[in-house]
Amino acid sequence: MKLITIELKKIQTYRTFWIIFGLYFGFLALGIIMAEFMVNAMVDDVNKRLPIPLPHAVLFNFPDIWQNLTFFASIRYVLIFPAIVIIILTTNEFSYKTVRQNVVNGMSRNEFIFAKLQIVLLLTLVITFILTLVMFILGLIHSDSQSLTMMFDKFRFVFGFFVQMLTFLCFAFFVGFIFRHTGLAIALFTLYVLIIEPVIYFVFRAPFMWENTIYTYLPVNSVVRVVEYPAIPALERLMDFQLQGEVTLLSCAIPILYSVVMIAIVYWSFNRKDL
């Protein structure tokens, strides 16, 4: 508890933190509001060329809402906001040299790492909780009365999202500790997430999108793939295959494995390097 109290003190009145965090939720809300509208605009467009029109997508009814909103909340453009928060909180310690002061004042290096991991976990829990609450309320508004089992049928996607957020923030934690400079770390992380991995996708893409390639196992894509598709029947009819019904343990295991390796590297290097 002591470590997390210290970490919370560091962000309590940190305006940059709250602005980015607010931006994230604003961006997320906008995405959620726009999602149904955009998907249906697409369906309308396709329907012009189809003899039997596809049904309109309904994103916010139980139990599909769990899958749909966790899908939209875990696309890489959205995930990157909380990741940048973690990078800033980590690299700040190096640019302000407060990591030195923490160690001088009697924090062990492992405690310092552990404190940052606690913030990663706390941020993940808060985001997952808020998103779950939003999904629950939206679901209630948009669904007819349903049995509880039916309502929470796809709740596994919330656990999937939790794994996605946790592992993605662990990547950010890793980048922050390794590069130490705020600007450099954010630039390299953004470059990798938004440009380098997508480029690798195009270079190695398979003839069918559901076939696995090297790209499938890259760190960021392994995170994104946990909740890979939304539950939109129109989309499935269009693609002609069952998109995704489950969050599989295997798909969660890959990003978790990456995170464990990254934390181990941080542990190893941070304990050896000078501060």
Partner 1 sequence: METILLINQLSKRYGRIQAVNQLSLEVAKGQVFGILGPNGSGKTTTLSMVLDLVRPDNGTFEWFEETPTKESRKRIGAVIETPNFFPYLSARKNLEIVAKVKGYDYNDIDHTLEVAGLFDRRHDKFKTYSFGMKQRLAIASALLNQPEVMILDEPTNGLDPQGIAQVRELILQVAKEGITIILASHLLDEVQKICDHVAVLNKGNCLFAGEVHEVLAISDCIELAAEDNQTLKEAIESHPGFKSLTETDGIIMAVFSDNIPPGKVNDYLQQKGITLTHLSERKRTLEQHFLELLKDNPS
- Judged by beta carbon, residue 220 or residue 266, the one nearer partner 1 is 266
Which residue matches tokens 């990254």? 262
Nearest one of 60, 55, 70 to 33, comparing CA atoms: 60
Report in angstroms how near the CB of residue 173 gets to partner 1 at its nearest: 19
- Judged by beta carbon, residue 15 or residue 48, the one nearer partner 1 is 15
- Judged by beta carbon, residue 103 or residue 178, the one nearer partner 1 is 103
- Judged by beta carbon, residue 64 or residue 93, the one nearer partner 1 is 93
Q: Which residues contact 264 (CB under 8 A, 6 or more apart)?
A: none
Taking the chain, what is the end-to-end CA distance rounded to the nearest angstrom? 25
Report in angstroms how near the CB of residue 82 gets to partner 1 at its nearest: 19
How far is it, in rounded angstroms, from Cα 122 to Cα 51? 51
Report in angstroms how near the CB of residue 80 gets to partner 1 at its nearest: 23
Neighbours of 229 (CB within 10 A): 17
Structure tokens at 163: 């794994």
- In the chain, the amino acid numbered 90 is T
Report in angstroms how near the CB of residue 272 gets to partner 1 at its nearest: 7
- Judged by beta carbon, residue 17 or residue 192, the one nearer partner 1 is 17
Binding site for partner 1 (CB under 8 A): 2, 5-6, 9-10, 12-16, 92, 96-98, 100-109, 111, 272-275
Report in angstroms how near the CB of residue 93 gets to partner 1 at its nearest: 9
Are 57 and 72 a contacting pair, CB within 8 Å?
Answer: no
- Judged by beta carbon, residue 48 or residue 272, the one nearer partner 1 is 272
Map residue 210 onto helix, strand or coil. Answer: coil
Report in angstroms how near the CB of residue 13 gets to partner 1 at its nearest: 6
- In the chain, the amino acid numbered 98 is T
Three state DSSP letters for 118-165 = HHHHHHHHHHHHHHHHHHHHHHHHHCCCCCHHHHCCCCHHHHHHHHHH
